[in-house]
Amino acid sequence: MNIIFVAPPAAGKGTISSLLASNYDYKHISTGDLIRNEIKTGSKLGTELQEVINKGELVSDELITEMLKKELTKKENQKFILDGYPRNVEQAKVLTTLFTKLKINDYIVLYLEVEKEIAQKRALGRIVCQNCGSTYNKYFSECQPQKEGICDKCQGILISRTDDNEKTFNKRFDTYLKVTQPVLDYYKKLNKLKIIDSNQTAFTALESIKRILGVEND
């Protein structure tokens, strides 16, 4: 079963996607990555995309659909997680049309539901080792380093990489919910929506997802 992944900031989407990719053979398709990769190839489409971005404009649904079509017809992408798209109902409709054309019926939309306070702690508490890249979180005891500010693995220095403070995070989170709600309503009507509680750990959320995918005994 294919997955369209929808989640507010710091809901754990990154962690869960990579667990699904490594344990269940899912291909992670992110529209952001597709755009960056296409530009790197220097193709005609890539040049077009670069021009759009240089002008500070958003990449049109048409161009994104073109890239997605190319990606979804690849043999190695028969089981995919779509990440970063659709962001609004217009795009969701475009995607439904594309799926119909490509005969992709077997998919669900996973929405990771998380309380703002918890997401905020996850986002603002995240600290990264500047030497080896290991991540920790100063707000969750199970994610804290043994010695404050020092990496357990390599003794490197831990730094915070977020540009957010409490206020900007809350704004980003609220905006996300507002923009996304109509997308969720759209998929609910199509009977495709599954809501996952992501207030505990990524592993707890993954357990619920495994049940939905029917892979819990793997």
Residues that bind Zn ion (CB under 5 A): 129, 131-132, 134, 151, 153-154, 156
Q: Which entry of 44, 103, 161, 189 is annotated as an active-site residue?
A: 161
Residue closer to Zn ion by CB (options 37, 130) is 130
CB of 150 to Zn ion, least distance (A): 9
Q: Which entry of 138, 172, 194, 210 is annotated as an active-site residue?
A: 172
- 87: annotated active-site residue: yes
- Measured CA to CA, the distance from residue 98 to residue 94 in angstroms comes to 6
Paired tokens of 37: 């990769």
- 122: annotated active-site residue: no
Do residues 111 and 6 touch, judged by C-beta distance below 8 A? Answer: yes
CB of 100 to Zn ion, least distance (A): 47
CB of 218 to Zn ion, least distance (A): 32
- 36: annotated active-site residue: no
Residue corresponding to tokens 């054309």: 101
Residue closer to Zn ion by CB (options 4, 129) is 129
Residue closer to Zn ion by CB (options 154, 159) is 154
Q: Which residues are catalytic?
A: 13, 87, 126, 161, 172
